[in-house]
């Protein structure tokens, strides 16, 4: 008779896990809309109005992307997306930079690499600082040693 009790318990535990996952996904989507999207839109406006470059921002399900073109060539593609860790979902940056003959790809967290922070700790300034770190690599032609 104890088997049915365990199975019933597992049903309730599964529903609790599903509810937690839904909550984490909703929190991430909210982060994209309230933090990442405004940060990338602000960067795009700066590129388009003051630096004579073509910057485009795109919001998709689960990600926000800015692509910056100089003289018709993609210089950087910076995408904010989900990173699953033990404590839940954290935003991460996936970056593609133009290196002339090839494109280099990077991944970066917005805070310390040990992931001991919450999604609510990541600010618009953190997103912009991370982007600037990689854009500096594009323009300097080398690697950056500064942390985002």
Q: Residues 82-115: pLDDT tens digits?
A: 998 877 889 999 999 987 788 899 999 998 766 6
Q: Which residues contact 46 (CB under 8 A, 6 or more apart)?
A: 55
121: left (phi over 0), alpha (psi -120 to 50) or beta: alpha
3-state SS class at 130: helix
Interatomic CA distance for residues 40 and 57, integer angstroms: 7
Interatomic CA distance for residues 92 and 130, integer angstroms: 10
Q: 105 has which bridge partners?
A: 96
Q: Is the pLDDT of residue 147 over 60?
A: no
Q: For residue 52, how many other CB atoms are within 10 A of its CB?
A: 9
pLDDT in tens, 22-58: 888 899 999 999 999 999 999 999 999 888 899 999 9
Backbone phi and psi for residue 80, each to the nearest 5 degrees, phi listed first? -100, 125
Interatomic CA distance for residues 112 and 121, integer angstroms: 11
Burial (CB count <10 Å: 0-12, 13-18, 19+), residue 122 = buried
């Amino acid at each position: 008779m104890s088997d049915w009790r365990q199975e019933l318990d597992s049903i309730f535990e599964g529903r609790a896990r599903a509810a937690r996952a839904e909550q984490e996904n909703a929190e991430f989507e909210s982060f994209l809309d309230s933090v990442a999207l405004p940060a990338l839109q602000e960067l795009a406006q700066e590129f388009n109005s003051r630096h004579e470059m073509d910057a485009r921002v795109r919001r998709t399900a689960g990600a926000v992307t800015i692509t910056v073109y100089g003289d018709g060539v993609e210089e950087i593609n910076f995408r904010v997306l989900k990173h699953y860790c033990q404590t839940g979902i954290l935003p991460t940056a996936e970056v593609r930079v133009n290196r002339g003959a090839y494109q280099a790809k990077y991944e970066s967290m917005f805070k310390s690499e040990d992931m001991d922070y919450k999604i609510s700790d990541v600010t618009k300034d953190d997103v912009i600082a991370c982007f600037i770190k990689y854009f500096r690599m594009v323009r300097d032609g080398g690697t950056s040693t500064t942390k985002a």
